Structure 1
Amino acid sequence: MTWLSYLYLACAITAEVVGTTALKSSYSFTRLGPSAITVISYAIAFYMLAQLLKSVPVGLAYALWSGLGMVLVMISAMVVYGERPDWAAVLGVAMIIAGVIVIQLFSNMNAH
């Protein structure tokens, strides 16, 4: 992956984490501010993901986007909403992080 690919990935993940965090505050889209943040953030996330897919295979891009996004959403929920994961959640997140590391270090997937 190039530095630009990493930038697209970082932007896509950041926007997705912001959107998902705001989604809880939207109370099923009944509050305008958080609802707007959610919709705009997801639009940005999907646009950046689409840019990433120009240079990275979809399977690899989605694995990184969803895996890292999931970890960061969990951390965001802990900070913003005071949610506390149990041991099973922590173990699951650790396995996701390990999977992302394995993909980055050992995968030979090439762009199409």
Structure 2
Amino acid sequence: MKYLFLGLAIAFELLGSSFLKVSNGFSKLIPSVVTIISFIICFYFLSLALRFIPLSVAYAIWGGLGIVLTTAISVIIFKQSLDLPAVIGITLIVLGVIIMNVFSKAATH
């Protein structure tokens, strides 16, 4: 259940970030409302996940997957491009999350 909460937090963060782009600086009402509601729901589910998952682990997974999936959305939906340094940076973030979860004793589940 704890990873379901974390997954929902990530999903609503992705929705909120995507609509933040569409809101055009909060100048469009509906995308702005979707953004705000999505982030409220996101943080609610993140808070539930933090009852069971250490903050360092939950935040690393939430932030890491959020970055990777938001980047994928920006490339696929918004037709934005990535250069080599961006790809390397995102890869390092993913590797950091994996290393933390697999090898760190601080990341006890």
Give the paired residue count. 108
Query: Which amino acid is 2:55 matched to?
Result: V
5+ residue gaps, structure 1:
none
Is the 8 Å Cα contact of residues 17 and 35 (structure 2) preserved in structure 1?
A: yes
1:27-56 residue CA offsets vs partner (Å, 9 max, x unmatched): 111101111110111011100000011011
**Which one is further off, 54-63 or 18-27?**
54-63
TM-score, reference length from structure 1: 0.90
Q: What's the CA shift for 1:5?
A: 1.4
In the alignment, the residues of structure 2 paired with residue 51 and residue 32 of structure 1 have an alpha-carbon distance, to the nearest angstrom, of 29
Counterpart of 1:96 (choices 93, 100, 103) is: 93
Deviating 4+ runs (over 3 angstroms) = none
In the alignment, the residues of structure 2 paired with residue 103 and residue 75 of structure 1 have an alpha-carbon distance, to the nearest angstrom, of 23
In the alignment, the residues of structure 1 paired with residue 60 and residue 49 of structure 2 have an alpha-carbon distance, to the nearest angstrom, of 12
Q: What's the CA shift for 1:20?
A: 0.5
5+ residue gaps, structure 2:
none
Query: Which amino acid is 1:8 matched to?
Result: F
- Identical positions, percent: 39
**Which one is further off, 30-39 or 99-108?**
99-108
Coordinate RMSD, CA, aligned = 1.2
Counterpart of 1:54 (choices 51, 55, 58) is: 51
TM-score, reference length from structure 2: 0.92
In the alignment, the residues of structure 1 paired with residue 11 and residue 79 of structure 2 have an alpha-carbon distance, to the nearest angstrom, of 20
In the alignment, the residues of structure 2 paired with residue 68 and residue 107 of structure 1 have an alpha-carbon distance, to the nearest angstrom, of 18
